[in-house]
Chain A
Amino acid sequence: MATVKLRDVRKSYGDVEVIKGVDIDIEDGEFVVFVGPSGCGKSTLLRMIAGLEDITDGTLEIDGARMNDLEPSKRGIAMVFQSYAIFPHMTVRENVAFGLTINKVSKAEKAEKVAEAARILQMEHLLERRPSELSGGQRQRVAIGRAIVRDPKVFLFDEPLSNLDAALRMDMRMEIGKLHQDLGASMIYVTHDQVEAMTLADKIVVLKDGQVMQSGAPMELYHEPANLFVAGFLGAPSMNFLKVTVDDFGDDWVQVSSAALASVKVPRKGRPFSTGQEATLGIRPQYLAAAAEGEGMLKGNVVLTERLGSETVVNMAVSDGSNCIASIAEDAVLIPGNEMSWTFDPALAHVFPEQVK
Chain B
Amino acid sequence: MASKLTTSNRAGWGFALPGFGLIMLFIVIPFFFAFYLSLTNQRLISPNPTEFVGLSNYDRLLSISVLTIEPEVDDTGAVVRDDAGNAQYPRVRTFTRNNPDYSQYAGMREWFRWHWGETAKVVVATDVVFWKSLRNTLMFVLVVAPVQAGLALCLALLINQRLRGINVYRAIYFMPVVVSIVVVSLLFRFIYDGNDGLLNNVLGFVTFGTFEGRDWLGSENTALGAIMGMSIWQAVGFHMVIWLSGLQTISPTLYEASSIEGASKFQTFRYVTWPGLRNTAVLILIVITMQAFALFAQIDVMTRGGPLDSTTTIVFQAVERGYGKQDISGGSAISVVLFLLVLSISLIQRYLTRER
Contact = CB atoms under 8 A, between A and B. Distances in A.
Interface string B261-297: 1111001000110011010000000000000000000
A77 B260 contact: yes
Contacts of A99: 261-262
Interface in A50-92: 50-52, 71-74, 77-79, 81, 83, 85-90
Contacts of A102: 258, 261-264, 267, 271
A106 interface: no
Nearest to B272: A87
B256 interface: yes
Contact of A150 (B261, B272, B278): B261
A50 B260 contact: yes
Contacts of A81: 253, 256-257
Contacts of B260: 50-52, 72-73, 77-79
B114 to A, nearest CB: 46
| Category for how many chain A residues contact B | 20 to 34
A318 to B, nearest CB: 47
Given A87-B271, A87-B272, A73 B256 contact: no
A103 interface: yes
A30 B176 CA distance: 59
A98 interface: yes
Contacts of B25: none
B272 to A, nearest CB: 7
Contact of A73 (B251, B254, B259, B278): B259
A146 B263 CA distance: 14
B256 A52 contact: yes
Interface string B321-351: 0000000000000000000000000000000
Contacts of A146: 257, 261
Interface in B239-258: 251, 253-254, 256-258
A52 B261 contact: no
Interface residues of B, number: 18
Q: Which of B254, B257, B272 has the most CB of A within 10 A?
A: B257
A85 B259 contact: no
A85 B251 contact: yes
A73 B261 contact: yes
B305 to A, nearest CB: 45
Contacts of B275: 87-90
Nearest to A78: B260
Nearest to A52: B256
A299 to B, nearest CB: 52
B257 A79 contact: yes
B254 A85 contact: yes
A98 B261 contact: yes
Contacts of A89: 275-276, 278
Nearest to B254: A85
A157 to B, nearest CB: 13
B261 to A, nearest CB: 4
Contacts of B267: 102
Nearest to A47: B256
Given A98-B271, A102-B267, A85 B262 contact: no
Given A89-B275, A89-B278, A103 B253 contact: no
A83 B262 contact: no
B251 to A, nearest CB: 7
Contacts of A90: 271, 275
A353 B253 CA distance: 43
Q: Which of B261, B267, B275 has the most CB of A within 10 A?
A: B261
A75 to B, nearest CB: 9
A35 B263 CA distance: 31
A52 B275 CA distance: 23
Contact of A71 (B254, B262, B278): B262
B188 to A, nearest CB: 41
Contacts of B276: 88-89
B263 A52 contact: no
Nearest to A158: B253
Nearest to A81: B253
A73 B267 CA distance: 14
Nearest to B253: A85
Contacts of A83: 251, 253
Given A87-B271, A102-B267, A73 B257 contact: no
Contacts of A79: 256-257, 260
Interface in B204-257: 251, 253-254, 256-257
A74 B258 CA distance: 13
Contacts of A74: 262
B269 to A, nearest CB: 12
B160 to A, nearest CB: 18
Nearest to B267: A102
B263 A85 contact: no
Nearest to A100: B261
Contacts of B254: 85, 87
13 contacts: A52-B260, A73-B261, A73-B263, A77-B260, A83-B253, A86-B257, A87-B271, A88-B276, A89-B278, A90-B271, A98-B271, A99-B262, A102-B258
Given A77-B260, A99-B262, A103-B262, 10 more contacts: A71-B259, A78-B260, A81-B253, A83-B253, A85-B253, A87-B272, A102-B258, A102-B261, A102-B264, A146-B261
Chain A to chain B: the 9 pairs with minimum beta-carbon distance, closest first: A73-B262, A85-B257, A99-B261, A89-B275, A85-B253, A72-B260, A102-B263, A81-B253, A72-B259
Interface of A: 50-52, 71-74, 77-79, 81, 83, 85-90, 98-99, 101-103, 146, 150
